[in-house]
């Protein structure tokens, strides 16, 4: 069946878009790589599913060849991981990553966890992990208190659970601290202390999943998809909502999803909040020197920072050292190198995720009936 | 409760558990890097491909994006 | 100070020329508009192969393969040299019969080969679909990673990054206005040679490739269907052939496709589909394999499948080294040796007239 509106991503933005599009009478298809709705932030919540629309979960979109009048990209964001000695050890996990794993059944009861990196996600993760029975040893935010004060002012904008986390924040929260190296079972922090931990949950903020927007040729400005008042990108018929247009959390994503799905202008001014977040949690220069020449930068291909020292672009690093040539297609090292070296993203080609030969052939059949 | 085989040993794992979480609960790492390092899940959301394992004979499946199914067989590189 | 040799184009051919002249103690500068080894060199498979389409092609590929072999002891590990051998797969008795005469031809010219019956074929490559008739194995062929090879071959040359707007006898003008000159100028710009020399009968011929995740041991040789020759020789607008290469990493490169008249470098679904369908027909196990990337590139095709190597008609100091089609990785070294011999007035194994631009009427005018 042909759909009027196809939405990629079933997080808050995608779900809001789906509800709005359904409300105005559109035939809607909602696609997500995960096995259920909610995206990363609402992963595993019940009651999110929408009746009366078509849904395809556990479905990776590796190419855009969809027959619809409106395509809404709600691909969300991923964590920014920065390399430091020991970051490839198995007990070093993303902050959002560890939370996602716990939601997917990882037993965290009684485990000692250091939460580190940057951004409001750290507190939310710490709160959720505590609730699940983890012993949160420390929450280390790289930004300074001075910088965070500005963010404190606007905490009211955040969901209640983050405010609840403030209790935890006062006792175990440290600003201007970050991990400098990890060894099995422990982590050394920038203030000199060594902490024993079962997990170091570490993420340095969020970066948007721009691949599909780039593949579609949508205009990207300062690292985000450019959209008009109705969330339409520079490519006619393709819309972008949520973190793709600026890291701003659930409220912004829902408002943008509603606008795109109902094809009305966005309500509320979310730009100021995006800017506030960006400024409060700006990454400090010291983080650029955490990785040493023998620190792996590209985890897929085990390429060290030293090996790419002579390269001047992502493409050169790819061709000469295999950096970014692996299965994640440079998503992890690419985002890190944008911060470390200022290298812009490489061009995006389909498939935007690895895909089996069999599935590539299947796609072509449906694309060319 | 689904019964799955992880590196040859049977485990009863609550439904809705991801393969990646099941592996970690059983104290297994996931893939072996090309230089031989043991790697575990990093992003937990399908991006980093560090949790690649062989599931029912298919190599390079992302453990974090798959839920356990009764009878599933999972093997990691180190096994 | 002007270099002795100025090479336009930092692909494998330009890089091979750089090495040849550097070894004579000359000063070499390469002008490249993007990355060393970043064009067709990075798009292709990196197959060092003897081919027998014509005597001239055999001579050039054979000599070039010998030159690659001579370099092996010096090659850095990044070049990923592996002597995989080429296994030409005969799908049926007719294809096998057609290839059976080749053994003597290769032997006369000093190239060892083996004819494989069906049993021997499956011993060599158990993953092939059942029912194949046999194969023709050329054990001395090899595989390299060409971008690193280009980088290594051109070590010692001065690199200038810029776009050449105009080329004359021993000089070039860059888009930024700079003018560079040298005793010897070489144009090695592959499929884009006609930007500088519009009369050359070189056309871009688009190809698609896929690369999988690591499946070590899945394939042992570079596998090509004998029908490949039909695809490569075809003048029709598009064709595909089964061509799979095992990389040192354990990854498989899956090819190949050929298209004329397409200038857009975008990956085309229908070509990918045709190419992968063909690959699955020969090697069913790849169905379940994970493809990490798809990409395209442009071969510099000539009407007679031979490169254009020699003095640029009408000029005294400017040479051409282009038109290598799908064989540029192999024939780069032979082309470089040929040019060096031409410049220094020495005789070599290869006959310059076979590869000179004057063989084409449009270049003689």
Residue B42 CA to residue B54 CA, distance in Å, equals: 18
Q: Chain C residue closest to A362 (CA)? A: C273
Interface test with C, best of B56, B58, B60 (most C CBs within 10 A): B60
Residue A61 CA to residue A134 CA, distance in Å, equals: 35
Query: Is CATH 3.10.20.30 the right assignment for the domain spanning B3-75?
Result: yes
> Residues of CATH 3.30.9.10 domain(s) within chain C?
83-141+203-300
List the structure tokens of A191: 């203030």
Q: What is the ipTM of this complex?
A: 0.98
Q: Which of the pair, A156 or A112, is modelled with greater confidence?
A: A112
At A20 the pLDDT is 97
Q: Is residue B6 reached through a cis peptide bond, with omega within 30 degrees of 0 on the bond before it?
A: no
Q: Is the dihedral of CA B28, B29, B31, B35 positive or negative?
A: negative
List the structure tokens of C106: 């290769």
Q: Which CATH number fits domain C5-59+146-202+304-364: 2.40.50.140, 3.50.50.60, 2.60.120.10, 3.40.50.12780?
A: 3.50.50.60
Pairing of strands A194-196, A77-79: unpaired
At A47 the pLDDT is 84
List the structure tokens of B44: 């937990």
List the structure tokens of B45: 């959301």
- B21: contact with A, CB 8 A cutoff: yes
Chain A residues lying within 8 Å of B65, measured CB to CB:
33-35, 58
Report chain A's mean pLDDT, rounded to a whole number.
91
Residue C362 CA to residue B70 CA, distance in Å, equals: 71
For A5, A213, A217, A231, C38, the CA distances from A263, given in Å and listed in that order, are 11, 19, 21, 8, 44
Q: Which helix (H) or strand (E) holds C279?
A: helix C269-282
Report DSSP state, residue C266. Answer: S
Chain B (25-54) residues lying within 8 Å, Cβ to Cβ, of chain C: 34
pLDDT cut 70: percent of chain C above it: 98
Is A79:A97 a contact under the CB 8 Å cutoff? yes
pLDDT in tens, A233-247: 999 999 999 999 999
- B58: contact with C, CB 8 A cutoff: yes
Is C2:C181 a contact under the CB 8 Å cutoff? yes
Q: Which CATH number fits domain C83-141+203-300: 2.60.40.1180, 3.40.718.10, 3.30.9.10, 3.20.20.80?
A: 3.30.9.10
- A63: contact with C, CB 8 A cutoff: yes
| CA A339 distance to own-chain centroid | 15
Tell me which residue of A26, A24, A21 sits closest to A4, measured CA to CA: A26
Residue C88 CA to residue A369 CA, distance in Å, equals: 34
Chain A residues lying within 8 Å of B16, measured CB to CB:
44, 104-105
At B39 the pLDDT is 98
Chain C residues lying within 8 Å of B58, measured CB to CB:
288
Domain ranges for chain B:
3-75
Tell me which residue of B51, C292, B43 sits closest to A78, measured CA to CA: B43
**Which of these ranges, A60-69, A270-279, A348-357, C18-27, has the smallest mean pLDDT?**
A60-69
Domains along the sequence of chain A with CATH = 5-78+207-276 (3.50.50.60), 92-204 (3.50.50.60), 292-369 (no CATH)
List the structure tokens of A170: 């006062």
Contact A364 C273 (CB under 8 A): yes
Residue B31 distance to chain C (closest CA, Å): 12
- B4: contact with A, CB 8 A cutoff: no
Q: Which helix (H) or strand (E) holds C146?
A: helix C146-153
Comparing CB atoms, the residue among A40, A301, A354 nearest residue B45 is A40
Residue pointed to by tokens 């060594």: A194
Comparing CB atoms, the residue among A320, A322, A354 nearest residue C291 is A354
Residue C275 CA to residue C20 CA, distance in Å, equals: 37
Pairing of strands C5-8, C28-32: parallel
Chain B residues lying within 8 Å of A44, measured CB to CB:
16
At C365 the pLDDT is 66
- Report the DSSP beta bridge partners of residue B52: B62
Burial class (CB in 10 A: 0-12, 13-18, 19+), A368: exposed
List the structure tokens of A292: 């040493």
For A351, B46, C246, the CA distances from A327, given in Å and listed in that order, are 11, 11, 17
Q: Is the dihedral of CA C323, C329, C331, C335 positive or negative?
A: positive
Largest Cα–Cα distance of chain C, in whole Å? 64
End-to-end CA distance of chain A: 13
- Mean per-residue pLDDT, C116-131: 97
Q: Is the dihedral of CA C302, C307, C313, C318 positive or negative?
A: positive
Residue C350 CA to residue C57 CA, distance in Å, equals: 10
Chain C residues lying within 8 Å of A327, measured CB to CB:
213, 290, 292
At A159 the pLDDT is 42
At C83 the pLDDT is 98
pLDDT in tens, C314-326: 999 999 999 999 9
Pairing of strands C251-260, C203-214: antiparallel
**Which of these ranges, C231-245, C272-286, C331-345, has the smallest mean pLDDT?**
C231-245
Chain C (65-84) residues lying within 8 Å, Cβ to Cβ, of chain A: 78
Output phi, psi for A214, to 5 deg: -70, -40
pLDDT in tens, C66-86: 999 999 999 999 999 999 999
List the structure tokens of A32: 């997500």
- A312: contact with C, CB 8 A cutoff: no
For A325, C64, C287, C320, the CA distances from C42, given in Å and listed in that order, are 13, 19, 25, 21
Q: How would residue A154 be classed by pLDDT, with cut points 50, 70 and 90?
A: low
Q: How would residue A369 be classed by pLDDT, with cut points 50, 70 and 90?
A: very low
- A107: contact with C, CB 8 A cutoff: no
Contact C269 A355 (CB under 8 A): no
Report chain C's mean pLDDT, rounded to a whole number.
95
pLDDT in tens, C152-204: 999 999 999 999 999 999 999 999 999 999 999 999 999 999 999 999 999 99
End-to-end CA distance of chain B: 24
Instruction: Write the secondary structure of chain A as one string of H (helix), E (strand) and C (coil).
Output: CCCCEEEECCCHHHHHHHHHHHHCCCCEEEECCCCCCCCCCCCCCCCCCCCCCEEECCCCCCCCCCCCCEEEECCCEEECCCCCCCCCCCCEECHHHHHHHHHCCCCCCCCEEEEEEECCHHHHHHHHHHHCCCEEEEEEECCCHHHHHHHHHCHHHCCHHHHHCHHHHHHHEEECCCEEEEECCEEEECCCCEEECCEEEEEECEEECCHHHHHCCCCEECCEECCCCCCECCCCCEEECHHHHCCCHHHHHHHHHHHHHHCCCCCCCCHHHHHHHHHHCCCCHHHHHCCCCCCEEECCCCEECHHHCCCCCHHHHHHHHCCCCCCCCCHHHHHHHHHHHCCCCCCCCCCCCCEEHHHHHHHHHHHCC
Contact B59 C249 (CB under 8 A): no
pLDDT in tens, A42-65: 887 888 888 999 999 998 888 887
Dihedral in degrees, nearest 10, Cα atoms A171, A172, A176, A178 = 180
Output phi, psi for A164, to 5 deg: -55, -35
Comparing CB atoms, the residue among A313, A325, A355 nearest residue C290 is A355
Residue pointed to by tokens 């310059």: C352
- A109: contact with C, CB 8 A cutoff: no
- C218: contact with B, CB 8 A cutoff: no
Flag whether pLDDT at C233 surpasses 80.
no
For A161, A261, C347, the CA distances from C338, given in Å and listed in that order, are 74, 65, 9
At B79 the pLDDT is 74
| Category of C325 on φ-ψ map: left (φ > 0), alpha (ψ -120 to 50) or beta | left
Flag whether pLDDT at A17 surpasses 70.
yes
Residue C227, SS3 per DSSP: coil
Q: How would residue A368 be classed by pLDDT, with cut points 50, 70 and 90?
A: very low
């Amino acid at each position: 069946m042909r759909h009027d509106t196809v939405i990629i991503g079933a997080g808050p933005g995608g779900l809001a878009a789906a509800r709005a599009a359904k409300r105005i009478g559109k035939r809607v298809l909602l696609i997500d790589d995960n096995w259920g709705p909610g995206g990363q932030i609402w992963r595993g919540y019940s009651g999110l599913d929408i009746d009366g629309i078509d849904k395809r979960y556990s479905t990776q979109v590796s190419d855009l060849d969809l027959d619809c009048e409106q395509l809404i990209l709600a691909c969300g964001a991923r964590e920014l991981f920065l390399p430091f000695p020991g970051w490839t050890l198995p007990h070093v996990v993303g902050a959002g990553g560890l939370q996602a794993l716990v939601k997917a059944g990882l037993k965290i009861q009684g485990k000692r966890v250091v939460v580190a990196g940057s951004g409001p996600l750290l507190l939310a993760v710490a709160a959720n992990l505590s609730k699940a029975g983890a012993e949160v040893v420390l929450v280390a935010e790289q930004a300074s208190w001075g910088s965070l004060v500005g963010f404190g002012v606007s905490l009211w904008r955040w969901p209640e659970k983050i405010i609840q986390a403030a209790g935890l924040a006062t006792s175990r929260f440290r600003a201007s601290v970050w991990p400098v190296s990890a060894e099995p079972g422990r982590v050394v922090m920038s203030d000199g202390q060594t902490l024993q931990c079962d997990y170091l949950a570490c993420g340095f903020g969020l970066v948007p999943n721009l691949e599909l927007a780039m593949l579609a040729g949508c205009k990207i400005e300062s690292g985000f998809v450019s959209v008009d008042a109705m969330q339409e990108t520079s490519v006619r018929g393709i819309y972008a909502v949520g973190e793709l247009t600026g890291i701003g959390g659930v409220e912004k994503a829902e408002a943008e999803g509603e606008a795109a799905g109902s094809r009305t202008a966005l309500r509320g001014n979310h730009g100021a909040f995006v800017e506030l977040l960006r400024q409060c949690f700006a990454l400090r220069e010291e983080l650029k020197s955490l990785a040493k020449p023998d620190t792996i930068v590209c985890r897929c291909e085990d390429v060290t920072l030293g090996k790419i020292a002579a390269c001047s672009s992502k493409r050169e690093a790819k061709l000469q050292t295999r950096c970014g040539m692996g299965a994640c297609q440079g998503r992890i090292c690419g985002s890190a190198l944008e911060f470390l070296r200022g290298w812009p993203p490489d061009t995006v080609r389909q498939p935007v995720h690895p895909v089996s030969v069999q599935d590539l052939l299947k796609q072509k059949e449906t694309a060319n009936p | 409760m689904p019964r799955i085989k992880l590196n040859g040993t049977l485990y009863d794992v609550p439904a809705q558990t991801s393969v990646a979480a099941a592996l970690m609960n059983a104290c297994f790492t996931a893939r072996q890097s090309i230089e031989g390092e043991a790697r575990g899940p990093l992003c937990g959301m399908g991006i980093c491909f560090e949790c690649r394992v062989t599931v029912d004979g298919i190599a390079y499946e992302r453990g974090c994006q798959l839920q356990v199914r009764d009878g599933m067989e999972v093997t990691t590189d180190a096994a | 100070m002007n270099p002795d040799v100025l090479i336009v184009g930092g692909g494998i051919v330009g890089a091979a020329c750089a090495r040849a002249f550097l070894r004579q103690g000359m000063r070499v500068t390469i002008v490249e508009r993007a990355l060393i080894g970043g064009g067709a060199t990075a798009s292709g498979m990196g197959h060092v192969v003897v081919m027998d389409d014509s005597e001239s092609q055999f001579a050039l590929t054979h000599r070039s393969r010998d030159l690659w072999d001579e370099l092996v002891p010096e090659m850095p590990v990044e070049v990923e040299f592996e002597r995989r051998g080429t296994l030409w797969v005969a799908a049926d008795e007719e294809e096998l019969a057609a290839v059976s005469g080749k053994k003597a031809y290769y032997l006369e010219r000093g190239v060892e080969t083996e004819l494989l019956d069906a049993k021997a074929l499956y011993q060599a490559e158990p993953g092939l679909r059942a029912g194949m008739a046999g194969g023709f194995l050329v054990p001395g062929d090899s595989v390299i990673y060409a971008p690193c090879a280009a980088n290594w071959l051109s070590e010692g040359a001065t690199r200038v990054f810029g776009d050449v707007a105009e080329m004359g006898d021993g000089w070039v003008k860059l888009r930024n206005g700079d003018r560079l000159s040298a005793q010897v100028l070489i144009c090695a710009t592959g499929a884009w040679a006609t930007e500088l020399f519009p009369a050359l009968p070189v056309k871009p011929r688009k190809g698609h490739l896929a690369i999988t995740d690591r499946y070590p041991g899945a394939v042992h040789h570079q596998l090509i269907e004998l029908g490949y020759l039909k695809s490569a020789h075809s003048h029709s607008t598009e064709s595909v052939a089964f061509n799979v290469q095992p990389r040192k990493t354990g990854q498989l490169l899956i090819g190949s496709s050929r298209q004329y008249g397409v200038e857009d470098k975008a990956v085309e679904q229908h070509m990918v589909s045709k190419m992968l369908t063909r690959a699955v027909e020969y090697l069913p196990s790849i169905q379940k394999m994970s493809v990490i990337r798809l990409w395209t590139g442009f071969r510099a095709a000539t009407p007679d499948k031979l490169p254009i190597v020699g003095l640029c008609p009408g000029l005294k100091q400017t040479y051409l080294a282009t038109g290598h089609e799908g064989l540029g990785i192999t024939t780069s070294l032979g082309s470089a040796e040929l040019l060096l011999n031409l410049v220094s007035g020495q005789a070599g194994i290869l006959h310059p007239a076979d590869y000179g631009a004057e063989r084409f009427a449009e270049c003689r005018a």
